[in-house]
Amino acid sequence: MLTYIDKILGVVETIGRTQAPVIQQAADVMAASIAGGRAVYLFGSGHSILPIMDIFPRYGSFAGFVPIIDPRLLWHGATGPGGARELLWIERREGYIEHLMRSFHVTSADTMWVFSHGGLNAAPVEMALYAKTRGATVVAVTSVANQRLAIATHSSGRKLGDVADIVIDNCVPPEDALVAVDGWAHPVAAASTASVVIVTMTVVAEVARRLASRGLTPPVFVSPNVNPDAGHNDRVFQAHMELLRRL
């Protein structure tokens, strides 16, 4: 009996049944940003960096997505420098994002895509607030169940879902873990990463379909296992570098 597989399949089914309209809406605004020569910025901290790494650069993706990955906002171990305990302290401190974003130029033509299961920590909330002050459309992927239950911890009194223009529910319960084990006080086996990757790949595919309908054909990052053209992926990176120069 593989309980986790049964439960995660249920999460995926719920995403497909309930989130299609907002996923389509998100794909619309992202395609408009990319088609207009601007960007879809990607941000998360802690384990919410994982879906960003899976969007670009990643086989099956294309230029237009710009990841904002700060090594101070991810962990490399449990404790000590780069540890999860220390990361949790940093991402809950207010004011850091304003300094981080001095290296980026966000405009009203951009989309900011923010990932946070809990939607409470300062880092994702302040990234959404930062993007909103510059007129960008903010798309959040978060647990709507947690959004409903949790009390805001940011001084603004807002959670990520309160700031975002479009909220995609990862359809995962607040505790994230799915599997109850007899005799254990808390469930195990987290779901939000698997859930969010399902969401992100669906959005990437829908953005590509919209770009194609506009006659746009950016080069797709392709596995060398199936594409013998050694220069193809160089063209993907060149397109990305040209985008960064325009931004």
**Mean of pLDDT values over 96-122:** 97
**Mean of pLDDT values over 99-112:** 97
Is pLDDT of 228 > 80? Answer: no
CA–CA distance, 37 with 100 (Å, rounded to integer): 23
CA–CA distance, 29 with 59 (Å, rounded to integer): 23
What phi, psi does 152 have (nearest 5°)?
-60, 140
How much is the CA Rg of the chain, to the nearest whole Å? 18
Q: Can you tell me which residue has the tokens 């698997």? A: 194
**Interval 169-215: pLDDT, tens:** 999 999 999 999 999 999 999 999 999 999 999 999 999 999 999 99
Q: How confident is the model at residue 230 (pLDDT cuts 50, 70, 90)?
A: confident
pTM of the predicted structure, to 2 decimals:
0.96
Q: Which two tokens stand for residue 167?
A: 């909220």
Q: Please tell me the predicted confidence (pLDDT) of residue 185.
A: 97
**Interval 145-154: pLDDT, tens:** 999 999 999 9
CA–CA distance, 15 with 25 (Å, rounded to integer): 15
CA–CA distance, 15 with 93 (Å, rounded to integer): 32
Q: Can you tell me which residue has the tokens 């605004």? A: 29
Degrees, nearest 5: CA angle 179-170-128: 135
Q: Write out the CATH class of domain 3-246.
A: alpha beta
Is pLDDT of 12 > 80? Answer: yes
Q: Please tell me the predicted confidence (pLDDT) of residue 1.
A: 64
CA–CA distance, 25 with 72 (Å, rounded to integer): 32
**Mean of pLDDT values over 42-48:** 95
